[in-house]
Amino acid sequence: MEKKKEKLIVIKVSEIDWYVINRVRELREEKGISQSQLSISIGRATGFIGKVENPTTDTKYSLQHLNLIARALNVPFAELLPRKATENDVLKIKLRRKKQVNKDGTESKRTELEVVEIEGAIEK
């Protein structure tokens, strides 16, 4: 049986947005806070954080969101930002959909996005 060719999803996002989204996710998960819980704690709709963390949507954090998130996570505002300026203006990210795995080790019907490749570019 021939394996179907996998379709990749390609997105473009600023490197600073990519960094901040992933940093907030990392801190949120370290503290055991769900996307919905964080959304509610900053006064947004329950799906807000999930939309931002989904790389296929255009929803991004504003400085006001980051200030609210820093307070909700009880971290300094600077903890959400890179220590130095990012190298690239835009990242081209290739993603693949893959099946999630249930706690019992079986394959779920739900899917998640997996990063396959990241390319950087400085826009002129």
Q: Can you give the residue range of the structural domain that contains 79? A: 9-121
Residue 50 is assigned to a structural domain of this protein: yes
Residue 21 is assigned to a structural domain of this protein: yes
Give the C-alpha separation, 54 to 29, whole Å: 15
Contact 96, 116 (CB under 8 A): yes
Residue 4 is assigned to a structural domain of this protein: no
Q: What is the pLDDT of residues 30-52, one digit of tens each?
A: 999 999 999 999 999 999 999 99
Residue type present at position 6 = E
Domains of the chain: total: 1
Q: What is the pLDDT of residues 94-121, one digit of tens each?
A: 999 888 888 888 888 888 888 888 988 7
Q: Say what the pLDDT of residue 3 is.
A: 55
Task: Give the closest residue to 44 by CA, choosing from 75, 78, 72, 13.
Answer: 72
Tell me, what CATH number does 52's domain have?
1.10.260.40
Residue 74 is assigned to a structural domain of this protein: yes
| pLDDT of 27 above 70 | yes
Residue 1 is assigned to a structural domain of this protein: no
Give the C-alpha separation, 67 to 54, whole Å: 20
Contact 16, 123 (CB under 8 A): no
